[in-house]
Amino acid sequence: MTKSPTVRAGRLIDANLHLLDRQVLDPENMPVATVDDVELDDVLWNTPLPPGTPAPVVTALLSGPVLATRIFGGRPPESRWHRIAWTHVVEIGTAIRIGINANELDVSWVERWLRDHVIRRIPGGSHDPE
């Protein structure tokens, strides 16, 4: 007989299938970011988990400048990642919905800066189309 693994309360998900490269939407259906990586609790990288060890728990969704690292390899520095706390996640579907407004997160600072300094300077860029 095999020993059943210890089960934590929650949902078992496959990060590759359910989280990575998914669009993150705020409560107003505004795009916030794309999930580039996940942060797990207490995981020793490059070390296999012993049998019977509980599955790691997701603590944050990470988004950041990963285009160059996807082409050339490597990983962005820790300081370049933007974190969305797992506690903000409300629903996992074709998109990941969070319960906090995009303007309250650091991850959307680039979009806010572009909106305020570039888009608004374009004629007609400061109002919705009619």
Residue 33 maps to which CATH number?
A: 2.30.30.240
Domains contained in the chain, number: 1
State how far the alpha carbon of 119 is from the alpha carbons of 79, 85, 101, 112, 127, in Å: 28, 29, 21, 10, 10
| Chain segment 81-129, per-residue pLDDT in tens | 889 999 999 999 999 999 999 888 877 777 777 778 888 888 876 666 6
Query: What's the pLDDT at 24?
Result: 94
| Chain segment 58-89, per-residue pLDDT in tens | 899 999 878 778 788 888 888 888 899 999 99
Q: What angle do CA 41, 43, 49 make, to 5 degrees?
A: 130
119 DSSP 8-state letter: G
Query: What's the pLDDT at 19?
Result: 94
Q: Is 81 domain-assigned?
A: yes
Q: Is 10 domain-assigned?
A: no
Where in the sequence is the domain holding 30, given as residue range(s)?
15-45+53-121
What pTM was estimated for this model as a whole? 0.73
Q: Is 60 domain-assigned?
A: yes
Q: Is 130 domain-assigned?
A: no
Cα–Cα distance between 43 and 18 in angstroms, integer?
20
Q: Is 7 domain-assigned?
A: no
Sign of CA dihedral 29, 60, 35, 126: positive
Q: Is 102 domain-assigned?
A: yes
Q: Is 76 domain-assigned?
A: yes
Q: Is 4 domain-assigned?
A: no
